[in-house]
Amino acid sequence: MNDGEAPVAARRRPVLRPRRWRAAIAALGMAAACGSPPISQEARRIHARAPVVDGHNDLPWELREKWGSDPRHGDLREPQPQFHTDLQRLRRGGVGAQFWSAFVPFDAERSTLVTFLEQIDLIRRMAAAYPDELEMADRAADVDRIRAAGRIACMIGVEGGHAIDDSLGVLRLFHALGVRYMTLTHNETTSWADAATDVPRHGGLSPFGEEVVREMNRLGMLVDLSHVSVETMRDALRVSAAPVICSHSSAAALVDHPRNVPDEILRAIAANGGVVMVNFFPGFVVPSAAAVVRQALAHRRELRARGLSGAELSQAMEEWRVRHPMERGGLKDVCDHLEHVARVAGIDHVGLGSDYDGIPTTPVGLEDASCFPAITGELLARGFTAGEIEKLLGGNVLRALRAAEAVAARMGEPGSRPAGARSGGG
């Protein structure tokens, strides 16, 4: 969520050959959504068989803001063009499991725990509101069962370790409520972990931060290293007994942005058995767009230093964005990142983390949650095998989750640590 103080996209229309495009839409019987060419029968077959798992979707925050936290305010089974995501488009995208983001902006002044709990509740109510389409998954094994029943498996990812208010008790209750990963930070450094886009305070994880990672291992909750600093990544990889993930991060070797993962960490995550799930945001996958995002971050810092905040700051940033349009890039840019991670970390350590509904603009060809099959088409054209594509689309992250569950079973009952273990208390 809020990935990039993100400039509004240049409103360029994708270049398409209209006749071919219309024929493809008619053939697929679908509404015009993806600006990507139709895929082959073989690609469609591979995609339909694969357990497509998306690592990060921010629809829950959109529902909070635009639908008053009511998942039945509108009908998610019908097209909802104001979002990147609705149930029809998830189905056309072949999505078998979705990690829904429980995101709440960091607030240095006050606890955000109640709002996090409300977002978790909203995700659970959304699944309950569409029982023919959605079902909460408790474990990796549930994903297969739920897919076989024709529904989309739902899991919760808490985005931002500030959620737990320095309490392992809260962390454990999150797990009980269905949270299956936690991103250790959002954009801001917390009391126990350094973020990629903020001033470091701990040189990575504090001793309590290491304790959080161990408790997540004990619970079988995946440690998510998107948004954290490279030092935090190194510390978490050293401490974690289970595979880690980056739920929505792209490759730093291709695009220079502090949110992207350097090759050194890609290799370390491979050694750890983890998975880097590539973010689709143009500001992370297109070099010129990343340059605009870096400028935006600098400009925002400058405005804050001048004392701007709240609505005034938002207004000033909005004006800046209009003057600094961002190149959208396309399907091939995202696939370049997937291919890079697959080459450096290995095919067993790459996945998808769209960040739909958390990003202000999308690449041409990956406009919304219906577009995942285009990735399969492109990877097949690049020479990936069916088995490799299945791993990338979701097999890898499910393997990591199963491994995390096995580590938790080995470590024994959670709860041996007191609920009140606090920052600095080790």
Positions marked active-site: 56, 58, 159, 186, 227, 248, 355
Q: Are 393 and 47 in contact (CB under 8 A)?
A: yes
For 9-58, give the secondary structure using H, E and C. ECCCCCCCCHHHHHHHHHHHCCCCCCCCCCCCHHHHHHHHHCCEEEEEEC
- Taking the complex as a whole, the smallest distance from the CB of residue 224 to Zn ion amounts, in Å, to 10
Instruction: Decide: helix, strand or coil at residue 232.
Output: helix
Helices (H), 83-165: 87-92, 113-129, 140-148
Q: Give whichever of 94 and 274 is closer to Zn ion, judged by the CB atom.
A: 274
Q: Give whichever of 55 and 394 is closer to Zn ion, judged by the CB atom.
A: 55
- Taking the complex as a whole, the smallest distance from the CB of residue 339 to Zn ion amounts, in Å, to 22
Q: Are 390 and 137 in contact (CB under 8 A)?
A: no
Q: Give whichever of 36 and 279 is closer to Zn ion, judged by the CB atom.
A: 279
Q: Which of residues 1-30 bind Zn ion (CB under 5 A)?
A: 3
Which residue, judged by CB position, is nearest to Zn ion in the bound state?
3
- Taking the complex as a whole, the smallest distance from the CB of residue 358 to Zn ion amounts, in Å, to 6
Which residue is it, tokens 């909802």? 80
Residue type, 20: R
Phi, psi (deg, nearest 5) at residue 183: -80, 125
Q: Give whichever of 55 and 94 is closer to Zn ion, judged by the CB atom.
A: 55
**Own/partner long-range contacts of 295-304 (Cβ < 8 Å, ≥24 apart):** 295/324, 296/4, 296/5, 296/6, 296/7, 296/320, 296/321, 296/324, 297/5, 297/197, 300/5
- Taking the complex as a whole, the smallest distance from the CB of residue 236 to Zn ion amounts, in Å, to 17
Q: Give whichever of 3 and 368 is closer to Zn ion, judged by the CB atom.
A: 3
Alpha carbons 289 and 221: distance in angstroms, whole number: 33
Count of residues that bind Zn ion according to CB under 5 A: 1
Region label for 200, one of left (φ > 0), alpha (ψ between -120 and 50) or beta (otherwise): beta
| CB proximity list for 415: less than 8 A, separation 6 or greater | 172
The contact set with Zn ion (CB under 5 A) reads: 3
